Amino acid sequence: MAVDSSLSPLGPPACEKDAKALQFIEETTRNADAVQERVLSEILARNAQTEYLKRFKLGGATDRKTFKSKLPVITYEDLQPEIQRIANGDRSPILSAHPISEFLTSSGTSAGERKLMPTIQEELDRRQLLYSLLMPVMNLCVPGLDKGKGLYFLFVKSETKTPGGLLARPVLTSYYKSEHFKTRPYDPYNVYTSPTDAILCPDSFQSMYAQMLCGLLEREKVLRLGAVFASGLLRAIRFLQLNWQQLAEDIRTGTLSSKITDSDLKSCIGRILKPDPELADFMSKQCGNENWDGILTRIWPNTKYLDVIVTGAMAQYIPTLDYYSGGLPMACTMYASSECYFGLNLNPMCKPSEVSYTIMPNMAYFEFLPYEPNLVSGGGESGTRLVDLVNVEVGREYELVITTYAGLHRYRVGDILRVTGFHNSAPQFHFVRRKNVLLSIDSHKTDEAALPLPIDNASQRLQTFSQSREARRLTSTRCRDV
């Protein structure tokens, strides 16, 4: 059935597919509390016979009142014994009625050990659903993205196996290696210059080289540039600074560098690499110049925005990206972690300081622990009961607590969020910081909340640069610490 595209409050969609996605966002956020009630009921009913829920004697109850009265709010340390049993090979329904398919690695515990977050196969469908909403929203802000491609620097990271044989790897590595990504249908609004073989190459140098080369070969088709994090895009710029001469030589001769030994890469790039002396000369002129101010828009002149995360710890890189991009807008599109994918930015072209994420109530069951940063005791917790998704208050800060289909129940994620408003009945949050996290910036320990002042100072300094030497030094130094 056709969707009436004129009814979307977000704006006129670019196509019928976008109209359905925008309608889904509207319906889900308009009925946020009912969706939350359904999600919790589904999770509790499905996992009723798990060891964890039986321990707290829910007796098959699926209502909020019983859930809140019987289940404690927990941290990762509370779950470590159960997680260790699963990692060691226990396949009984400990946390989830569905089999744990793998572990997603997250940032370390206070003891410095990485976290292992259990997940189930169907979570890939849920993540894919959120990904499918990003471009329909972006198309409202930036028209014509179906007329070109995106140059995204995406990489897989190393994975290990637990003693029980389950994979343990970062959430994005899990996604890129999934059939959802590898066999994704063609979408003219979401075409990459990077071949899938280049993204999946485990050798980081060869992967970056191949992705950069393909992006250069199609430089006039590139409409958006990105990486997952701002630091990742700066690594790509630094890579170009160090390797542009070899890249230009490959383009000039139409032959691939001997440094590329991966057979899949050699095959896929061999099909598109042809001698192009004119492009090689252009590369030499642009990259051989001392001044790299605005280099991204000089090499990729049709770029409309940068797609990178620049909130939280990544805010430190905004001035440097401004320098290299000539002030291109920076879009932060979604909010996600190893534990759960949470929501998306419905105004992705806003200033980085104004980014707010709308929590999608179908992704998990969300609760919020009121947080008072000036309280010393209790780590900032106000001591009041947790607040449901639709009952948070604008202007207040909360710590995020989630209950997921994969078996996390009332789990404290550790993210501190400030409510900035609502879209329909779903709240919108500004990411404030990770609770009790210290950042390592150029060998100094800094609280995330203390970042704005040095960022402003760095911005003023960068405005005075007439040469790129200092900016190159900044890129090289900062990228080592991420």
List, for residues 195-216, the tens digit of each pLDDT value: 999 999 999 999 999 999 999 9
Question: What is the C-alpha to C-alpha distance for residues 454 and 315, in angstroms, rounded to an integer?
Answer: 10
Q: How confident is the model over 47-69, as a mean pLDDT? A: 96
Backbone phi, psi, residue 200, to 5°: -85, -5
pLDDT in the model for residue 280: 98
pLDDT in the model for residue 2: 43
Domain residue spans of the chain: 146-303
SS3 state of residue 99: coil
Question: What is the C-alpha to C-alpha distance for residues 424 and 114, in angstroms, rounded to an integer?
Answer: 37
Q: Are strands 222-229 and 357-359 parallel, antiparallel or unpaired?
A: unpaired
Q: What are the strands, taking DSSP E only, across 122-236?
A: 149-153, 160-161, 167-169, 222-229
Distances (CA, A) of 234 to 308, 349, 372: 10, 20, 35
Q: Residue 244: is its pLDDT beyond 60?
A: yes
State the residue for tokens 């009945």.
Answer: 425
Q: Residues of the chain with pLDDT > 70: what percent?
A: 85
Q: Which amino acid is at 15?
A: C
pLDDT in the model for residue 372: 81
Question: What is the C-alpha to C-alpha distance for residues 152 and 236, in angstroms, rounded to an integer?
Answer: 10
Question: What is the C-alpha to C-alpha distance for residues 250 and 284, in angstroms, rounded to an integer?
Answer: 12
CB atoms within 10 A of CB 150: 21
State the DSSP H helix or E strand holding residue 28, giving kind and residue range, or none if neither: helix 16-30
Chain centroid offset of residue 180 CA:
17
List pLDDT tens digits, range 362-394. Answer: 999 999 999 987 654 445 454 568 999 999 999
List pLDDT tens digits, range 141-177. Answer: 999 999 999 999 999 999 999 999 999 999 999 999 9
Kindly report which listed range (11-15, 221-225, 418-422, 450-454) carries the lowest average pLDDT score.
Answer: 450-454
CB-CB contact of 395 with 413 (8 Å): no
Q: Are strands 365-371 and 387-388 parallel, antiparallel or unpaired?
A: antiparallel
CB-CB contact of 36 with 389 (8 Å): yes
Question: What is the C-alpha to C-alpha distance for residues 442 and 446, in angstroms, rounded to an integer?
Answer: 10
State the DSSP H helix or E strand holding residue 357, giving kind and residue range, or none if neither: strand 357-359
SS3 state of residue 319: helix
Q: How confident is the model over 84-96, as a mean pLDDT? A: 97
Q: Residue 5: is its pLDDT beyond 50?
A: no
Q: What is the pTM of this model?
A: 0.86
List pLDDT tens digits, range 248-306. Answer: 999 999 999 999 999 999 999 999 999 999 999 999 999 999 899 999 999 999 999 99
CB-CB contact of 218 with 465 (8 Å): no
pLDDT in the model for residue 414: 92
pLDDT in the model for residue 8: 64
pLDDT mean across residues, the chain? 88
Alpha helices, H only, 218-317: 230-253, 263-270, 277-287, 295-299
Distances (CA, A) of 3 to 129, 134, 143: 18, 19, 20
CB-CB contact of 204 with 155 (8 Å): yes
